[in-house]
A and B are shown apart, each in its own frame.
Chain A
Amino acid sequence: MQETIFLPLIIALPLLGFVVLGLFGKHFKEPVAGWLASSLVLGSFLLGLYLLFQGGARWTLLDWLPGIPFSFNLDNLSGVMLLVVTGVGFLIHVWAIGYMHGDPGYSRFFSYFNLFIAAMLVLVLGDSLPVVFIGWEGVGLASYLLIGFWYNQRVNADSARKAFIVNRIGDLGFLLAMGLLWKMFGTLSISELVQKVEAGGYNPAALTLAGLLLLIGAMGKSAQVPLMVWLPDAMAGPTPVSALIHAATMVTAGVYLLVRHAFMLHGDACLSGLIVVIGLITAIYGALASLGQWDIKRIVAYTTLSQLGFMFVAVGVGAYWVAIFHIVTHAFFKALMFMTSGSVIHALGGEQDVRQMGGMRKYLPSTHIHGVVATLASGGLIPLAGFWSKDAILAYSFAYGPLLWALMMIASVLAALYSVRWYVLVFWGDYRGKEHPHESPPVMLWPNHILMVGAAGAGFMGLPYVIDYQNFLNPFLTPAIGDFALEKLPVLTEWILIIVSAVVAAVTLWWGFGFYQQKAPPWLERFQVWALEGFYADALFNTILVNPARSLAGVLLDADRGILAGFTGLGSLVGGLGRLLASLQTGALRLYMVGLMIALVLLLGWGVLR
């Protein structure tokens, strides 16, 4: 652990890209802006990798605020996140060079994209909570800017606002948590908080409250039920945005935050139970809603919700390293899934309705292979990445309680179903659209090739202990998260769970592959109508929150108008009085003098006779 100026440099590189592209973007020819942005992110990646091999790094600016240092901390946990953010981020940058081709806001897009990377790195590397909060808000801002990237369409701007406003709720939780922690411990540095919490001598209920507030923050950012409504609408942004921000990195920030504060959560059964319940509901809700979507990006968005629920469950059962493990594998296969979707959209000239797709395996052979790998990884087929991380979550769920395991098993069956549904609707059957599809350029294919390798192989860094007693990831993360030794399941149970999980996933994938090629039965169609609307979560929110607020605003507006009418009435009253008096001003000098004289007589008379 060394003090080094290179650490803030990691953040400064993409920030530089943001400034340069933001200010001088017009002077860059089209591919140059994209390559510049991408290479800066690659620079961050390499620098971060180097520092991580050095054994981590710290950088501190003392007394940034009174008593609060401006500090960054690169340990193994933030290192993993950093590599995911910059590594996957770099690939998506490169892919976006092809995807955003010909867009009038080309430089602006990459400027925002670099801003996002910089803010995300601040979030990940920040050691004191206010620094994390800067990153937290920064990614929110970048997300807002990028969702509303094509702002000249009303629906995009509305979606951007929706994401921003819903995230405010979570941000409020974060802010309150910071205030509470400051009040309790007098420090906001995470590394110091760890020691203070270990030392004890605080009110445990207050710590639970702080954890709950942090959880609310994490729920907003990671789109957990009931703050999930913004994520599907966030798909209004360009597809690279969805892949990078709303699948691979930003939405996992909430999970990362909770893992960072594992020292506050692990002893708190109540709070952990709440996290499990939230995660479970989100996992099942997202999976079910995904099954009814027709917009290819919304399908993937709801699957992301579901996978985020898995991560929350992992946090809740205390398997923090598994949550990070799932973040990593999910980043690979979900980014791959999104970018495959994006390649299809690109091939079809912007078509996003899966009912207008189909048969893409003939037209887009390379993209088809990406799609196969993404589907199988997401569906959890052994031995792809998704299987290992999901299986680890399932195993720890079983240790938490067999009922949770059963429910999570249902969720993972649904996960396999939505993956294969996506795959079949896009790549099988006959082509149902009109646009002539064309395969993506190499600049879009190569990032997908690399992600495909990741989606296939990333799971091997976190094998279960029965296969690989000391896997790579768990001991690597332990010093950063804290050593919360979990009870290991018996070997036989573990094996049974692995086999059940693998078989169920494989069977579901196979069954779904056949099922979705047939015509949908009527009960499914009824279900899909429900699911298409996300089970009317938006309508519910509109009824219980938005409409009352709107009515209140209407009442206030009326009151405002009433007050305003009073003022204008007063104004016109004065004006009328003025006109009345103005008619006295005839301009006839002698009449004025008559008035003067009468007044003089009256005043003098009053004075004399009084």
Chain B
Amino acid sequence: MSVGIWEIVALVLLVITAIAVVRLQNAVHAALALIANFLVVAGVYVALEARFVAMIQIIVYAGAIVVLFLFVIMLLSAASASMGKDLFPRLPWVAGLGAVGLAGVLLLALSHFQPPASPPPLQGGLPQVLGPLLYDPQQWLYALLLVGFLLLVATVAAVVLIEPERIASQPGPEAPKDEPGVAER
């Protein structure tokens, strides 16, 4: 396993875009950084012989999902992340420490991994390779159907959730801003 120049570049890009996602104050910029990250990941997928997954990554993840994020960010005019007083000002330090610890533990765990000497070939991860697996009843067909059904349910749920009349007509309690529930004790 050799580490070439492109690997180093891709790794640096991945880390930079990821840090941008979590640090940029402007939500739109963060979402755009996420798209960049996903595109780099898609490139990595190609290098790792997963071309069909790479295409899906670009089309669905970078193309559809993150665009959905952008829509919602703009819809709610939440682009600027500045909001009220920070309740947990020391939390970023804890989070940073935790992230470092987590990364350390994960790297330690992965360093124990011994890959087999000669893995079977992946044939580039092309659609004609994955397709028979996906549509084989012995393999993933039912899981695929279930995921399709899940998507349908999620779509319906999203529609129901944001249907304006329903929200307006709901008599739901005017929840007080930060009042603790009184009834539960």
A residues in contact (CB < 8 Å) with B: 588, 590-591, 594, 597-598, 600-601, 604-605, 607-609
Question: A588 near B109 (CB under 8 angstroms)?
Answer: no
Q: List residues of chain A with CB within 8 A of the CB of B99.
A: 597
**Most chain A CB atoms below 10 A, which of B95, B105, B108:** B105
The answer to whether B105 and A601 touch across the interface, beta carbons within 8 angstroms, is: yes
Contact A594 B109 (CB under 8 A): no
Partner of A591, one of B88, B101, B109: B88
Q: Does B102 contact A (CB under 8 A)?
A: yes
**Of A588, A601, A604, A605, which contacts B88 at CB under 8 A?**
A588
Cα distance A591–B95 in the bound complex, in angstroms: 10
User: Is B5 in the interface zone, CB < 8 Å from A?
Assistant: no
Q: Do B105 and A604 touch across chains, with their CB atoms under 8 A apart?
A: yes
Minimum CB–CB distance for B42 against chain A, Å: 27
Between A and B, 24 residue pairs with Cβ closer than 8 Å are: A588-B87, A588-B88, A590-B88, A590-B91, A591-B88, A594-B91, A594-B98, A597-B95, A597-B98, A597-B99, A601-B98, A601-B101, A601-B102, A601-B105, A604-B102, A604-B105, A604-B109, A605-B105, A605-B108, A607-B109, A608-B105, A608-B108, A608-B112, A609-B108
Residues from chain B with Cβ under 8 Å of A607 in the complex: 109
Q: For the complex formed, measure the closest distance between the CB of A600 and the CB atoms of chain B, giving whole angstroms.
A: 7
- Known: A594-B94, A601-B102; 8 extra A-B contacts, CB below 8 A, are A597-B95, A597-B102, A598-B98, A601-B98, A604-B105, A605-B108, A608-B112, A609-B108
User: Are A604 and B98 touching (Cβ within 8 A)?
Assistant: no
B102 contacts across to A, CB distance below 8 A: 597, 600-601, 604
A591 to chain B, nearest CB (A): 7
**Residues from chain B with Cβ under 8 Å of A605 in the complex:** 105, 108
B87 cross-chain contacts in A, Cβ below 8 A: 588
B162 at the interface (CB under 8 A from A): no
8 tightest Cβ-Cβ pairs between the two chains A and B? A604-B105, A597-B98, A608-B109, A601-B101, A605-B105, A608-B108, A601-B102, A601-B105
* Minimal beta-carbon separation of B170 from chain A (angstroms): 22
Asked if B106 is an interface residue, CB under 8 A from chain A, the answer is: yes
Residue of B nearest to A587 (CB): B180
Residues on B with beta carbons closer than 8 Å to the beta carbon of A597: 95, 98-99, 102
Residue numbers in A under 8 Å from B105 (CB-CB): 601, 604-605, 608
Inside 8 A of B91's CB, which chain A residues have their CB?
590, 594
Q: Which chain B residues numbered 69 to 106 have a C-beta less than 8 Å away from chain A? A: 87-88, 91, 94-95, 98-99, 101-102, 105-106
Bound: A363/B57 CA distance, A: 118
Q: Is the interface of A mostly helix, strand, loop or mixed?
A: helix
Interface residue SS majority, chain B: helix
A550–B33 Cα distance when bound, in Å, is: 84
Partner-A contacts on B (CB < 8 A): 87-88, 91, 94-95, 98-99, 101-102, 105-106, 108-109, 112
Cα distance, A145 to B105, chains bound together (Å): 82
- B94 cross-chain contacts in A, Cβ below 8 A: 594
Q: Which A-chain residue is minimally distant from B109 (CB atoms)?
A: A608
C-alpha spacing A598/B105, complex, angstroms: 11
A contact residues around B98 at 8 Å (CB): 594, 597-598, 601
Q: From A603, which residue of chain B is reached at the shortest CB distance?
A: B105
- Please, which residues of chain A bring their CB within 8 A of the CB of B108? 605, 608-609
Chain A residues with CB under 8 A of B95: 594, 597
Q: Which of A590, A601, A607, A609 has the most CB of B within 10 A?
A: A601
Q: Which residues of A contact B88 (CB under 8 A)?
A: 588, 590-591
> Chain A's nearest CB lies how many Å from the CB of B182?
14
Give the Cβ gap from A606 to chain B, nearest Cβ, in Å.
10
Separation of A597 and B109 alpha carbons in the complex (Å): 16
Given the complex of chains A and B, what is the CA–CA distance between A605 and B94 in angstroms? 18
Shortest CB–CB separation between residue B164 and chain A, in angstroms? 26
> Which of chain B's residues have a CB closer than 8 A to the CB of A594?
91, 94-95, 98
Nearest residue (CB) in B for A609 is B108
Report Cα–Cα, A286/B118, bound state, in Å. 112
A609–B101 Cα gap in the complex (Å)?
14
Residues of B with C-beta under 8 A to A590: 88, 91
A609 to B99, CA, bound (A): 18
Q: Which residues of A contact B106 (CB under 8 A)?
A: 604
B57 to A: closest C-beta gap in Å? 25
CB distance from B174 to the nearest CB of A (A): 18
User: Which residue on chain B has the smallest CB distance to residue A604?
Assistant: B105
Cβ of A503 to closest chain B Cβ, rounded Å = 91
CA distance A398 to B87 in the complex (A): 109
In the bound assembly, the distance between CA atoms of A325 and B99 in angstroms comes to 107
Residue of A at shortest CB range from B94?
A594
Which B residue sits closest to A607, measured CB to CB?
B109
For residue A609, which residues in chain B have a CB less than 8 angstroms away from its CB?
A: 108
CB distance from A238 to the nearest CB of B (A): 57
Complex: how many Å from CA A95 to CA B131?
Answer: 103
Complex Cα gap A594–B99 (Å): 10
Across-interface contacts of A601 in B (CB, < 8 A): 98, 101-102, 105
**Chain B residue at smallest Cβ distance from A601:** B101
Q: Give A88 Cβ to nearest chain B Cβ, in Å.
A: 70
Q: With A and B bound together, what is the CA distance between A225 and B167 in angstroms?
A: 84
Distance of A591 Cα from B109 Cα, bound (Å):
26
Q: How distant is B106 from chain A, measured CB to nearest CB, in Å?
A: 7
- Nearest CB of chain B from residue A391's CB, rounded to whole Å: 86
CA A590 to CA B95, docked complex, whole Å? 10
- The distance in angstroms between the C-alpha atoms of A591 and B98, with both chains bound, is 13
Q: With both chains docked as a complex, state the minimum distance between the C-beta of A590 and any C-beta of chain B, in angstroms.
A: 6
- Smallest beta-carbon distance B47→chain A, Å: 27
Residue of B nearest to A597 (CB): B98
- In the complex, A608→B108 CA distance in Å? 7
Roughly how many angstroms separate A609 CA and B109 CA in the complex, as a whole number? 9
Bound-state CA distance A609–B104 (Å) is 12
Q: Roughly how many angstroms separate A341 CA and B108 CA in the complex, as a whole number?
A: 106
Across-interface contacts of A598 in B (CB, < 8 A)? 98
**How many angstroms from the CA of A542 to the CA of B102 in the assembled complex?**
79
Query: In the assembled complex, which residues on chain B have CB atoms less than 8 Å from the CB atom of A588?
Result: 87-88
Q: How far is the CB of B95 from chain A (nearest CB, A)?
A: 7
Nearest A residue to B103 by beta-carbon distance?
Answer: A601
The residue on B at minimum CB distance from A593 is B95
How many Å lie between the Cα of A196 and that of B118 in the bound state?
Answer: 99
Nearest to B107 among chain A residues (CB) is A608
